[in-house]
Amino acid sequence: MNRILAAQAEDRNIPDVTLRSTADNVVWGYLPANVPPALTIKSGAIVEIDTLSHQGLLTNQDPVQFFAAHGIAPDQVLPDAVEVYSKLKRPKGASVHLLTGPLYVEGAEPGDALEVRILDIKFRVPYGVNNTGPRKGVLPGLVKEPTAKLIRLELSRNVALFSQDIEIPLSPFMGIMAVAPPTSMGMVSTTPPGPWGSNMDLKELARGATLYLPVFNQGGQFFTGDGHAVQGDGEVDGGALEISLTPTLQFILHKGKALKSPMAETVTHYITTGMSVDLNEATKLAVEEAVNFLQREKGLSPADAYALASLAVDLVIGEAVDIVSLVYAKIPKSIFRNNPDYWFKP
């Protein structure tokens, strides 16, 4: 499917189009570059994107059998999950995540930046899975057997029912939002995050947040998947509450706005990221990006930017379990007397 869509008014969240998670529009475990578009849009367009969780599709059972073992009726299993399981094969060496895309933005080319506004995120099913086991997470020897925990949601109260005595407030976000990596890299697994985004597991990217990604290929070639109903920073056991979600996203192209690594913005904070296999190096990169932002966008000297980062900027481990660690720096907007208006109004 390849449709060119004109952007409609930007002051509403009604999608211009929906991109379904059919077998033709899904890739499994890797980020390809320059494959035919699932959808082509103009800058400013609003797109609703169905995504699928990989949970229930990685065993020798089909999704209906997997979820039946956890008390989920067949009519509560998404038909597109069954279709993808039966029709799509995961390439050798690929990771686990199912991604919907690619979405091409007209006029996007290397050296540009793609702004992704998260207008809304809807649940597709009232349950999710946390899956851990041996060799997973930051304590790889703690759990001796593969352990899949199905957790039901009570959407009317916006909570996950972890146990009879524990309820967790829901805060859905997409674990993966990415553009296609440089073609020189060949097949890129979805497991580690990188400058193109991917498996950042950045929980700040909930409804009302904005993600900025550098563009490496014509059209940008955007993918998303790996939906999370809720997750703690770090994702320490190797997984979140994994779930199928439908985000509504607006795509805005910024010509010639080169970025070194992904950035984000919320109503309350500017967010810079640092990624490395070494946690200390990831921390250094996040601070460098924060200091560079304060100089570039707020006009501070290097010394003042560094001082302000030490006084007012918080560092958070966003991702600690997927080969490449992600650290993010949160710059509070409240410390600046004059801030440009932000699009989201809570």
What ranges do the domains of the chain cover? 4-254, 268-334
Give 66-85 pLDDT, tens digit per residue: 999 999 999 999 999 999 99
Q: What is the pLDDT of residue 12?
A: 66
Give 208-255 pLDDT, tens digit per residue: 999 999 999 999 999 999 999 999 999 999 999 999 999 999 999 999
Distance CA 120, CA 250 (A): 10
Regarding beta strands 113-123 and 210-214, do their DSSP bridges make them parallel or antiparallel, or are they unpaired?
antiparallel
Distance CA 177, CA 171 (A): 16
Q: What is the pLDDT of residue 10?
A: 45
Phi, psi for 91 (deg, rounded to 5): -65, 150
Going by the DSSP 8-state scheme, the letter that residue 68 receives in this structure is H
Q: What is the mean pLDDT of residues 273-278?
A: 98
Tokens 């038909």 map to which residue?
79
Phi, psi for 102 (deg, rounded to 5): -85, 150
Distance CA 155, CA 159 (A): 6
Q: What is the pLDDT of residue 154?
A: 98
Q: For residues 193 and 142, is the Cβ–Cβ distance under 8 A?
A: no
pLDDT at residue 287 above 60?
A: yes
The vertex-213 CA angle with 209 and 219, nearest 5°, equals 120
Q: For residues 57 and 81, is the Cβ–Cβ distance under 8 A?
A: yes
Q: For residues 174 and 244, is the Cβ–Cβ distance under 8 A?
A: no
Q: What is the pLDDT of residue 60?
A: 76
Residues 6 or more apart from 296 whose CB is under 8 A from it? none
How would residue 61 be classed by pLDDT, with cut points 50, 70 and 90?
confident
Q: What is the pLDDT of residue 8?
A: 42
Please name the residue ranges forming H helices in 205-301.
279-298
pLDDT at residue 284 above 50?
A: yes
Q: What is the CATH number of domain 4-254?
A: 2.60.120.580
Residue 183, number of CB atoms within 10 A of its CB: 12
Residues 6 or more apart from 76 whose CB is under 8 A from it? 67, 125, 126, 127
Q: For residues 196 and 173, is the Cβ–Cβ distance under 8 A?
A: no
Q: Decide which of 155 and 1 is more confident.
A: 155
How would residue 312 be classed by pLDDT, with cut points 50, 70 and 90?
very high
Give 3-46 pLDDT, tens digit per residue: 444 444 444 689 999 999 999 999 999 999 999 999 999 999 99
Give 159-186 pLDDT, tens digit per residue: 999 999 999 999 999 999 999 999 999 8
Closest residue by Cα to residue 326 from 215, 212, 235, 220: 235
Q: For residues 289 and 204, is the Cβ–Cβ distance under 8 A?
A: no
Same fold: 4-254 with 268-334? no
Give 19-29 pLDDT, tens digit per residue: 999 999 999 99
Fold of 268-334: Endonuclease I-creI (3.10.28)
Residue 36, number of CB atoms within 10 A of its CB: 10
Q: For residues 169 and 187, is the Cβ–Cβ distance under 8 A?
A: no
Q: What is the mean pLDDT of residues 280-287?
A: 98
Percent of the chain at pLDDT exceeding 90: 94
Percent of the chain at pLDDT exceeding 70: 97
Collapsing DSSP to helix, strand or coil, 310 comes out as helix
| Burial degree of 92 (CB within 10 A; 0-12, 13-18, 19+) | exposed
Collapsing DSSP to helix, strand or coil, 148 comes out as strand
pLDDT at residue 107 above 70?
A: yes
Q: What is the pLDDT of residue 59?
A: 79
